[in-house]
Amino acid sequence: MYGNGIRRTVMTVVAAASAALLTTACQPTGGDGVVDPSSPAAPSASSPTPGGGAGTTAPEPAASPSAPGEGVAPGEPDPGSGATDAAAPRCAPSALRATVRQADDRPAGTGIGAMVAQFENVSGAPCVVQGHPTVAGAGNGSPERNAPMVVTRTGTASPVPLAPGGKAWLKMTFVQVQGEADGYCVSGSEPITYPTVVIGLPGSGHHQVAPEDVSIALCDNKVTVTPVSATPLS
């Protein structure tokens, strides 16, 4: 009688213990009875929770690099090319270095015939030159002591933007001296020789220059000029 009751009690205790062991075995542990957070069954602090609460911010995607030329409208200069905007200020006289040479393409004769003037932006900022020049013959002294020439303009003037180091050109064609030795002028006037000329650019000052190894001999104190150009002239 008592033996059957004891056996039922022992079996009940064993069954309860077995159930407890099975329940514990279903929860992975780190060896000390604590649930292993690396287990797929464990909740993750980085996993989004419903409602977008704290700890749910996802990393933003990295910005993709721009394609070459992106952001530059068609027809506009590339920002790294060195081109300048025609809206830049006029070049100050000190921003320009002027030089002249005898032109390759010039009237036949024994005088200077024609000269090409070059203007280089020697400043550190972009600027603009524009317009037809004034021209005056001068000695080696002050540019103000000169003989202005009668100027005939050709071509249409337009802004020429100059980046630092940029260059612009214009051409001056004179009434040519004819003949040998001192020569003569077709008009009957006497030929004129100047050591230098003074070139005035609208808004950009006056520049006294002389070509190398050739004198400036011309007739009638007249000159035909082009406007400043971004294209080299001959």
Query: Does 220 reside within a domain?
Result: yes
**How far are the Cα atoms of 16, 59, 105, 140, 231 from residue 136, in angstroms, in the given order?**
120, 72, 21, 13, 24
Dump pLDDT digits (tens) for 99-126. Answer: 999 999 999 999 999 999 999 999 999 9
What is the spatial distance between Cα 192 and Cα 207, in angstroms, rounded to a whole number? 20
Dump pLDDT digits (tens) for 25-42. Answer: 444 444 444 344 444 444
To the nearest 10°, report the CA torsion of 174, 176, 182, 184.
Answer: -120
Instruction: Count the domains in the chain.
Output: 1
Q: Which residue has the tokens 């612009």?
A: 168
Query: Does 25 reside within a domain?
Result: no
CATH number, domain of 164, equals 2.60.40
What is the spatial distance between Cα 53 and Cα 20, in angstroms, rounded to a whole number? 36
Q: Which domain holds residue 110?
A: 93-225
User: H/E/C letters for each residue in 174-214?
Assistant: EECCECCCCCECCCCCCCEEECEEEEECCCCCEEEECCCCC
Binned at pLDDT 50, 70 and 90, residue 227 comes out as very high
Task: Mention every residue, 6+ apart, whose C-beta is less than 8 A from residue 147.
Answer: 136, 137, 138, 194, 221
Query: Does 77 reside within a domain?
Result: no
Binned at pLDDT 50, 70 and 90, residue 182 comes out as confident
11's tokens: 């079996």
